[in-house]
């Protein structure tokens, strides 16, 4: 699930009409803690992949 989400986010960030898009994520089937962990991992992977410094 994390890898799929990562690909979706990468595609949205690079899309030419990204300002007109909103990503909604349904987390009703998992706990809030698990959702936070998945999003944190995805964000970290994207940052490491693009070699951004925070």
Task: Convert the pLDDT of each residue in 25-47 to its tens digit.
Answer: 998 999 999 999 999 999 999 98
What is the CA 38 to chain-centroid distance, rounded?
A: 9
| Nearest of 37, 46, 40 to residue 11 by alpha carbon | 46
**Are the C-beta atoms of 38 and 1 separated by less than 8 Å?**
yes
Helix (H, G, I), strand (E, B) or coil at 23: coil
Taking 80 as the threshold, does the pLDDT of residue 54 lie above it?
Answer: no
Taking 60 as the threshold, does the pLDDT of residue 17 lie above it?
Answer: yes
What is the model's pTM? 0.74
């Amino acid at each position: 699930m994390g890898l799929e989400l990562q690909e979706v986010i990468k595609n949205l960030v690079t899309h030419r009409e990204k300002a007109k898009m909103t990503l909604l994520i349904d987390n009703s089937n998992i706990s809030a803690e698990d959702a936070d962990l998945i999003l944190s991992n995805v964000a970290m992977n994207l940052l490491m992949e693009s070699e951004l410094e925070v």
